[in-house]
Amino acid sequence: MLAQFGFGVFVLTFLLALFSVGGAVLGYFSKSDRWVETARRAMLLTFPLITLAVLTLTYLLVTGHYELQYVYSVTSNDMPFYLKITALWGGQAGSLVLWSWLMSAFASAVTLRKWERDRELLPWVIVVTSITLAFFLSLSILYENPFARWWQTAAGEFVPHMFAPAGAIPVSPADGQGLNPLLRHPGMIIHPPMLYLGFVAFVIPFAFAIAALVTNRSDDRWIRLTRRWTLVAWLFLSLGLVLGMRWAYDVLGWGGYWGWDPVEISALMPWLTGTAFLHSVMIQEKRGMFKQWNMLLIILTYALVIFGTFLTRSGVLSSVHAFAQSAIGPMFFAFIGITFIISVALLIYRWRDLRAEVEMTSLFSREALFLLNNLLFMGVLIVCFWGVIFPLISELVTGQKVTVGPPFYQRANAPLFGALMALMGIAPLSAWGKSTFQTLGRALWKPSIPSAIVPVVLAILGVRNWIALVGFTLVAFVVFVTMFEFWRGARVRQKRNNENFLVALWQLAGRNRRRYGGYLIHLSMVVMAIGILGMELYQTTTQKTLAVGENIQIAGYTLRYDSLAQFPYTDGRIVTRAVVSVFRGGKYLGELYPRYDYYPNGQPMTIAGVRSTLADDLYVVLVNWENVSVAQAPFKVYHNPLVNWLWIGSLMFVLGFLVAAWPEREEEEREGKI
């Protein structure tokens, strides 16, 4: 009964979303505020309705209603309570529901604001968000219905269906299959919702951009209105990516965090355009330039969000992340086709009205450097996009499948990321508008000197890899420039206001949060770069089968295999766990417990034993695909230098973001200097 209720709510919400689209369009063309207001209220109503459906589904999941196909496929009796809740997004149908829910939450939040001054944008914001919402709801209703239940047909087959097929009788399994073991990890519990939050939040700036295009408002109002949305979307997308990396590192047991898998890349692509957008909107706000470009970027970001979701879910690509092949492909394809074509057509149609108010005058001005930054991000995007798309082209033309793997992306992207780091160092020292080679040079030479010492020191210490030398020099350069900027700004305040240096520093960041928060984010990026450089250039690995008491050596560490034990765990899995002692230079450092778990559904999970320090990680895998016994067990050991800095960097990133986006006091906001 509850399932029918949930489904009914879904259908109702879908109709309501369609109604709000119609109302908004009607209201716009007939200049009827009443219709727009009706549409707005319809839009607002979708959120409580979907919330109701989500709560219903959650209740069904938690109480083990296995007669529902979705509940059956993602939960089981022995799963802990919190996992039953997270099972909401543990499968295709549920994650689409989550998408719709977030979409309607964000759309409601944005339609709730005061609209007096931007009334003309409202109908089109409603249209874009409601169409997106209606599309995702229709997927849930037509193809991926989480409320469909099991039936046994007259022929004896078990089929999931919402309503009884002719002659079928309902069946109710006593237990479900349970959540995919790979998804039973804290990182996995928050990684998908974070990504979805990021994806969905980018729909809001897109909606405003389209509204601005349709109504021909060529000013930057849409950017100012959605600035915070963009930041939030970007934060969640970034966090989603980082958490995904962390999850891969902890759970997948291949000693890395990023495999350049097509699905990872499809989540990275909107991040790339989103980051470019975040930078280039500043130029439009400050200088009125690049309106066309910003429109293009936000349209691209939205398109890539939808495109990435499509790639992951339609069965076009196969990958570790891919959802099982599903019928939603054609419908998704139609949606992609329509939205891409309309957005691009609209942009081309309005292109001439989006001309710049001022033009660029100097190659060394900050806006020029921002443009260069955008170019580099686009370069990375092209590499990624082409790498994902090419196997499809190759298969279509030659019939041969090919793999475009990590070496391709690393080789192509490394110089681009290097250049981006150099820009991170240079750009903060440039000025808007008129900046010449001389003024820029004068600002640059001071932080350049200490950075130039870094490669010398590293070379003396024995680093010979030129990529490492260049990389760490760039890291140092960005760090010095950013510290120099903080120091310079604080000094000026200190002198002028007679403040304590620390107070001055605090005040400085407080007065110009966006700028100094941005610097902190830059710092966090280079800290992450330290970890990435360490992993990419200096990771080593070795594999050996050990008898009890035997050793394995790697990077100055000695690991001794002590014992192996096997025991069942409460949720039905069987754990095989080895004890390994770690020594360095004869000194005992501790024990590690690499293990693998066999779940009742037969899927193995490899959990590495990790010893983590600031300098390096020792990552030990009990190789479950070779023969394991107490007498001898195969181990694969990775030495991952500096990888911890990647996670430290991501924490700094959140801090920087908080500084940049923390709501300002009302008064300051009125001055328009956030």
Tell whether residue 228 is a contact of other proteins (CB under 8 A).
no
The token pair at 571 is: 């949720």
Question: Site map for other proteins, 320-339, x if CB under 8 A?
Answer: x----x---xx--x--xx--
Among residues 564, 582, 592, 646, which is the contact residue for other proteins, using CB under 8 A? 564
Binding segment (CB under 8 A) for other proteins, from list 95-103, 184-192, 237-245, 367-375: 367-375
Relative orientation angle of helices 466-497 and 437-460, to the nearest 10 degrees: 130
Instruction: Judge contact between 160 and 235, C-beta under 8 A.
Output: no
How far apart CA 298 and CA 337 sit, in angstroms, is 17
Among residues 1, 31, 156, 399, which is the contact residue for other proteins, using CB under 8 A? 399
Q: Give Cα separations from 38 to 9, 19, 451, 494, 499 (angstroms).
A: 20, 9, 61, 55, 55
For other proteins, give the closer residue by CB, 464 or 496.
Answer: 496
Among residues 26, 52, 62, 431, which is the contact residue for other proteins, using CB under 8 A? 431
For other proteins, give the closer residue by CB, 22 or 315.
Answer: 315
Residues 231-290 that bind other proteins (CB under 8 A): 253-255, 259, 261-262, 286-287
Query: Which residue in this structure is represented by tokens 């997004």?
Result: 89
Binding segment (CB under 8 A) for other proteins, from list 17-25, 146-154, 182-190, 399-407: 399-407
For other proteins, give the closer residue by CB, 164 or 348.
Answer: 348
Residue type (1 letter), 457: V
Binding segment (CB under 8 A) for other proteins, from list 12-20, 144-152, 365-373, 649-657: 365-373
Among residues 101, 151, 249, 310, which is the contact residue for other proteins, using CB under 8 A? 310
**Which residues, in sequence order, are CB contacts of 629 under 8 Å at separation 6+?**
564
For other proteins, give the closer residue by CB, 613 or 627.
Answer: 627
Order across the sheet with 616-622: list the strands.
540-547, 632-641, 616-622, 609-612
Give how far the C-alpha of residue 652 lies from the chain's centroid of Cα atoms, to the nearest Å.
17
- In three-state secondary structure terms, 401 is coil
Nearest to 418 by CA among 543, 576, 536, 560: 536
Nearest to 12 by CA among 53, 54, 70: 53
> Please, where are the H alpha helices in 512-615?
513-538
Residues 498-557 that bind other proteins (CB under 8 A): 508, 511-512, 515, 541-547, 550
**Cα atoms in the Cβ-side hemisphere of radius 13 Å centred on 276:** 26
CB of 659 to other proteins, least distance (A): 14
Tell whether residue 25 is a contact of other proteins (CB under 8 A).
no
For other proteins, give the closer residue by CB, 37 or 285.
Answer: 285
For other proteins, give the closer residue by CB, 33 or 626.
Answer: 626
Nearest to 100 by CA among 71, 65, 57: 57
Residues 107-126 that bind other proteins (CB under 8 A): 116-117
Among residues 224, 560, 577, 611, which is the contact residue for other proteins, using CB under 8 A? 224
CB of 47 to other proteins, least distance (A): 29
The token pair at 454 is: 């870094």
Among residues 58, 215, 394, 436, which is the contact residue for other proteins, using CB under 8 A? 394
